[in-house]
Structure 1
Amino acid sequence: MKSKTRALTGVLACTVAASVLAGCAPGAPGGGSPVAKIQLSIPDPLTSSVGVSAQHFADQVKKTSNGSVVVTVVPNGTSFSGDQNAAVTRLQGGSLDALILSTSVYASVVPEMNAISIPYLFDDTKEEAAFLAGKPGDVLKEKLKEKNTVALSFLTRTGRQITNSERPIEQPSDLKGLKIRVPGNPLWTDFFGKLGASPTTMAFSEVFTGLQTGTIDGQENPIEVPWTNKFSEVQKYVSLTHHINDAWVLALSSKKWDSLNEDQKKILTDASAETATFKTEYDAEQSEKQLAELTAKGMKANEPTAAGLEQFKAVSKSLYPDFSKLIGKEFFDQAIAAAQ
């Protein structure tokens, strides 16, 4: 009887020891909490800048959490059927865990987001990065928090350029009559309308076909967009106007955020900050290569004339009263002061 008791005790001891070594909970590497699994939805392919950055973030989280937080990237807008406005709503409601999406889309629920995209507010992405990492970025994070959205970091994008099938854009008058696809955002439609173009809003998924059929003459985006989406097949000119900057928001739903412990929150926050630095540097390298590839495929690149650039900037400043109303005067004034 004693020998059976000793044997049972030995088995129990081994079981307890094994549980300790395994972390005391199934699927919890090195700790007592369950693994936190996060699906990170993005609108673009994994090969795009945002795709590469999203995967970089996931890899950084895996490394620093020792596997206790697992981020899976879901590309191409498949988790929200390509409807980016619906993605924002779903994130707020908690049916999406995490999302990387443009500030121009978030502006529909947080108008202050439009301040990032005041035309010619920044000279380059380094100025934009400093703006977003400073007090203006903190204000925007608080505004998003009120919408059940926890913004971990802002990721910069390179300046937006204009492509079209008709002619090089050297000054605003060159845009007269051209149907240019723009996001469904009043800041864009007001600016391009004032430049003399015919701003046309359409879902991005329809842009390639629109360019191909002539429904629209051109579009405007950071250089990686025509590169990723092979617009060189349907566009002849790329004009380096650098007219607007926007950014990406790397965010979690408040519902998902509240389910995490403090260590997991810190891991995600630190990884997002590192990813923001990574993306600014990565984009600077890639945009030069991407432009070279577009021109190698037949697109003709140009820059505005010096006089033309001043005309673009003057049009932007003439719209400041409208932008102030769109954004809200208080934050508009803060943004202009912070960027000077």
Structure 2
Amino acid sequence: MPKRILAAAAVAVALTVSTVLTGCGGGATGGAGAASTTVRLGLGDPAASSMGVSAKHFAEKVAELSDGKVKVETFPDGTLFGGDQNAAVNLLGNGTLDSTIMSTSVYASFEPKMNAISLPYLFKDQEEVTKYLEGEPGKELLGSLDKLGIKGVSMLTRTPRHTTNSVRPITQPEDFKDLKLRVPQNDLWVKFFGSVGANPTPMDFKEVYTALQLGTIDGQENPLEVPVNNKFFEVQDYLSLTSHISDAFVLGFSKKKWDSFDEDTRKVLQEAADDTADFKTKYDTDEATKTLEKLKGEGVKINELTPEAREKFQAAAQKVYPELEGKVGKEFVQSSLEFLGR
């Protein structure tokens, strides 16, 4: 069984968080043959996030494989694209950016198929997410970026999304009733949370802390590390491990930049990206327990869903699938379900 699947299975046991990548390029089968070059990699997340750590790993791996000939300069916190991740995709496509790491939920604004990963309760556990990303669906998603002028090099797992709020623990679908919950500006989130009675509220992420503090919204949902990195524990009382939606990250290059590399350099970048995908899954597994302990230490009350409650959530999610097919593409939804044995 691949290392990533083993690691992902461990995540599912630990709990059933945004990130960054950085690196250098060279040649997988002959780093010495790679030409010297520099890549500017724009990142949306802080250097201290789990992706920041993965970025460091990527940099070291590429330097090793290329004998230090190819250097990637990393710019975290959205500094190369003014914090606007949609703009980053456009800049990547037209060649203004060399490379970046963005979530599939951002790419979904440009390629609807990316929404498939975020169908609520599509996956039973993190092991299935890894299998999906490594398999034909993941390859098809990477290939779908070609028309945007982007070379999708690798997909990296992201831990599932959970719910925090200041009103009550979420143990059953009906506990969402009337909760004003910040969600991304994506109809999948709006449709799902609306179906369980919440009041989903799309909002720019940089506004979330203040909105939680002022009580403008009751809660938010994100991968586990987000409430820690952004200190939401200061303004949220409950964390419910709902694992309702997954997404992933795409390590992408401008096709103009990618095509300018010699074959050895492309091989190294690919090998280093694949190695980093394995690394990140394992790192997230190891960090999950630490993150939960940090939140507990800050006084956050944490609860997991029972198997019975999870079945209720899955049933609620499946009711909205027909409405969501148009956001993804019916054929790709069906092929995804078939791949997962549904």
Fold shared per TM-score above 0.5? yes
Alpha-carbon offset, residue 230 of structure 1: 1.2
Q: Which amino acid is the alignment partner of residue 275 of structure 2? A: E
Secondary structure at 1:146's aligned position in 2?
helix
Contact 2:34 2:69 in 1 (8 A): no
Question: Which residue number in structure 2 is paired with residue 126 of structure 1?
Answer: 127
**Using the alignment, how far apart are the partners of 1:126 and 1:275 within structure 2?**
17
Q: Report matched runs for 1:110-259 at 5 Å.
A: 110-259=111-260
Post-superposition CA distance 1:45-66 (Å, at most 9, x none): 1111111112211121111101
Question: Which amino acid in structure 2 is aligned with residue 254 of structure 1?
Answer: K
Query: Using the alignment, how far apart are the partners of 1:181 and 1:293 within structure 2?
Result: 23
Question: Partners in 2 of 1:32 and 1:76 — Cα distance?
Answer: 30
In the alignment, what sits opposite 1:87? 88
Alignment-derived partner of residue 97 in structure 1 = 98
Q: Which has the higher contact order (CA 8 A, sep 6+)?
A: 2
Q: Distance in 2 between matches of 1:87 and 1:231?
A: 26
Q: Is the 8 A contact 1:58 1:73 kept in 2?
A: no
Moved more, 307-316 or 159-168: 307-316
Segments of structure 2 that go 5 or more residues without pairing to the other structure are 1-30
**How far apart, CA to CA, are the structure 2 residues paired with 1:188 and 1:44?**
21
Instruction: Tell me the SS of whatever aligns to 1:168.
Output: coil
Mark the CA change 1:68 to 1:311 in structure 2 (over 3 Å): closer, same or farther. same
Structure-2 separation of matches of 1:88 and 1:322 = 27
Identify unmatched segments of 5+ residues in structure 1.
Answer: 1-28
Provide the rounded CA distance (Å) in 1 between the counterparts of 2:126 and 2:170.
22
1:11 aligned residue: none
Structure 1 stretch displaced more, 64-73 or 148-157: 64-73
Deviation of 1:215 (Å): 1.5
Q: Secondary structure at the match of 2:74?
A: strand
- Secondary structure of the residue aligned to 1:252 is strand
Following superposition, the deviation at residue 150 of structure 1 comes to 0.6
CA separation in 1, counterparts of 2:143 and 2:213? Answer: 42
Aligned amino acid, residue 229 of structure 2: T
Q: Secondary structure at the match of 1:78?
A: coil
Partners of 1:306 and 1:31 in 2: CA distance: 54
Letter of the aligned partner of 1:296 in structure 2?
G
**Matched pairs, number:** 311
**Given residue 152 of structure 1, which amino acid in structure 2 is its aligned partner?**
V
Contact 1:119 1:316 in 2 (8 A): yes
Q: Is the 8 A contact 2:155 2:251 kept in 1?
A: yes
Indicate whether 1:42 and 2:43 are aligned: yes
Report the equivalent of 1:325: 326
Judged with a 3 Å threshold, the aligned counterparts in structure 2 of structure 1 residues 170 and 32 are, in CA distance, closer, same or farther, namely closer
CA distance in 2 between counterparts of 1:334 and 1:248 reads 21
- Within 2, Cα distance between the matches of 1:128 and 1:305? 21
C-alpha distance in 2, partners of 1:106/1:247? 10
Note closer, same or farther for the CA distance 1:279–1:32 as it changes in structure 2 (3 Å cut).
closer
Please state how far the C-alpha of 1:118 moved relative to its aligned partner: 1.2
Q: Is the 8 A contact 1:120 1:243 kept in 2?
A: yes
Verify: 1:298 aligned to 2:317, yes or no.
no
Pairing 1:70–2:71 present: yes
The AA in structure 1 aligned to 2:83 is G
How far residue 84 of structure 1 moved from its aligned partner, in angstroms, is: 1.0
The question of 1:260 aligning with 2:267 is answered no
Contact 2:40 2:98 in 1 (8 A): yes
Gap change, CA 1:290 and 1:209, over 3 Å in 2: same
Query: So what's the TM-score if we normalise by structure 2?
Result: 0.88
Residue 32 of structure 1 deviates from its aligned partner by: 8.0
What is aligned with 2:272? 271
> Match of 1:71, SS?
strand
Structure index of larger Rg: 1
Partner-residue secondary structure (3-state), 2:290: helix
- The alpha carbon displacement at 1:43 in A equals 1.1
Does the aligned pair in 1 maintain the 2:34–2:262 contact within 8 Å?
no
Question: For residues 125 and 257 of structure 2, what CA distance do their matches in structure 1 show?
Answer: 34
8 Å CA contact 1:154, 1:248 repeated in 2: yes
Q: How far apart in 2 are the matches of 1:113 and 1:337?
A: 17
Q: Secondary structure at the match of 2:148?
A: coil
Distance in 1 (CA, whole Å) between partners of 2:298 and 2:179 is: 23
| Paired position in structure 2 for 1:9 | none
Q: Is the 8 Å Cα contact of residues 171 and 305 (structure 1) preserved in structure 2?
A: no
Q: Does 1:339 pair with 2:340?
A: yes
| 1:25 aligned residue | none
Q: Does 1:54 align with 2:55?
A: yes
SS of 2:102's equivalent in the other structure is: strand
Structure 1 residue 30 displacement after superposition: 5.6
Cα deviations by residue, 1:171-200 (Å, 9 ceiling, x for unpaired): 111111111111111111110111111111
Return the offset for 1:310.
Answer: 1.7
Q: What's the CA shift for 1:238?
A: 0.2
- 8 Å contact 1:55–1:73 — kept in the other structure? no
Amino acid at match of 1:186: D
Q: Counterpart of 2:104 in structure 1: which amino acid?
A: T
